[in-house]
Structure 1
Amino acid sequence: MKIAIGCDHIVTNIKDEMVQYLEAGGHEVIDCGTYDFERTHYPIYGRRVAEQVVTNEVERGIVICGTGVGITTSANKVQGVRAPLVRDVTTAKMAREQLDANVLGIGGRITGLGLMQEIVDVFLSTPYVETEESKQLIASVDALASTSRGLDGDEIFDEFLEKWEAGCYVD
């Protein structure tokens, strides 16, 4: 399976471990960054992964940040993405079976690596089970997404990146 993966600077090492794990499992991985521990703006990487999924360049996506909340929320802003924040195997399974989830959100500081690998395995191997109820639910969820404002690429983050570089954001 072809998978896109992205993270923020807090969990780059965990993302790198997951890339190795996925490749060892026979998957092709598109690493959307970030690639180091220099402070960065996580929505960029959530969006990059999500866009890979909705343009069908990959089959699934994985986004990771400290808690998983921010980057998962960012991925969900891309129309066509259904990204649950998952902390257990059952949620990963149900998200695939019932919602045809296509991007997996994980908290790298919340979920241990072994459990994360198990969650990813279940997320990638569980098929979507289409029913009338699930089709209606997915259509309702997808209808909530707004259309693009006509902005292409990462330039929508320029304002925030300028503030970042000026030192406006601190840990």
Structure 2
Amino acid sequence: MKVIIGADHGGFRLKQELIPFIESLGYTVEDVGSSCEQSVDYPDYALPVCTAVVEGKADRGILVCGTGIGMSIAANKVKGIRCALVHDLFSAQATRDHNDTNVLAMGERVIGPGVAQEIVRVWLETPFSEGERHQGRIDKVMSIEQRSC
């Protein structure tokens, strides 16, 4: 599985800690930046991550900013993306299990690296196993996207 990851200045340090962790789990990681803690705009990193996921160049995407809020808003503007803002293990599991999310957003200023690593591990390892029960709901969400574009 290939994971693409991006962060703005507020998520740079956490992104840097997550990359080797994700690789240690056996996944390939592509980093689209940012490359430092100098102020940048989060949409500039959300878009390439989400575009790669939608185009099939990556299986899943991870976005990090200060709170995760801006990244998740930007990500969910991209047609085909189901991004969840997650700061706990239960939500990491549920968002894959129930919502088949393809992008994960987190906030460096909200959680520490240890919790973030466990969230990423759970999110990457959880299959969309509740498809039969939840697929209809996902289809309804995606139809909203189709009608509004």
TM tier, shorter chain? over 0.9
1:48 Cα deviation from its structure 2 partner: 1.0
CA distance, structure 2, for counterparts of residue 147 and residue 141 of structure 1: 10
3-state SS in 2 of match to 1:29: strand
Equivalent position SS for 2:116: helix
> Which structure would you say has the larger RCO, counting Cα contacts within 8 Å and 6 or more residues apart?
2
Does the aligned pair in 2 maintain the 1:6–1:62 contact within 8 Å?
Answer: yes
What is the CA–CA distance in structure 1 between the aligned matches of 2:68 and 2:34, rounded to whole Å? 15
Structure 1 length-normalised TM: 0.82
1:70-149 aligned within 5 A: 70-145=70-145
Q: Distance in 1 between matches of 2:80 and 2:147?
A: 10
Matched-pair identity in %: 40
Report how far residue 44 of structure 1 moved: 1.2
CA distance in 2, matches of 1:147, 1:7: 30
CA shift for structure 1 position 109: 0.8
Deviation at 1:38, TM superposition (A): 1.6
Output one character per residue of 1:34-87: Cα deviation in whole Å (capped at 9) or x when no partner: 111221110111111111111111111100000000011111111111111001
Q: Per-residue deviation at 1:130? A: 4.4
AA aligned opposite 2:88: D
Q: How many residues align?
A: 149
Give the aligned CA root-mean-square deviation in angstroms.
1.7
Match of 2:25 in 1: 25
Cα deviation for residue 21 of structure 1 reads 1.1
Distance apart, 1:148 and its partner CA: 10
Report what 2:50 is aligned to: 50
- Over 3 Å counting, the alpha-carbon distance change for 1:17 and 1:148 in structure 2 is farther
Distance 1:148 1:142, change over 3 A: closer
Instruction: Give 1 or 2 for the bigger CA radius of gyration.
Output: 1
Question: Where do 5+ consecutive residues of structure 1 fail to align?
Answer: 150-171
The alpha-carbon distance between structure 1 residues 64 and 90, as it changes in their structure 2 partners (threshold 3 A), is: same
- How far is the alpha carbon of 1:113 from its aligned partner? 0.6
Tell me how far apart the structure 2 counterparts of residues 80 and 59 of structure 1 sit (CA, whole Å): 13
- Counterpart CA distance in 2 for 1:147 and 1:40 is 32
Tell me by how many angstroms 1:133 deviates. Answer: 3.6
| Cα shift at 1:145 | 2.1
In the alignment, the residues of structure 2 paired with residue 115 and residue 107 of structure 1 have an alpha-carbon distance, to the nearest angstrom, of 11
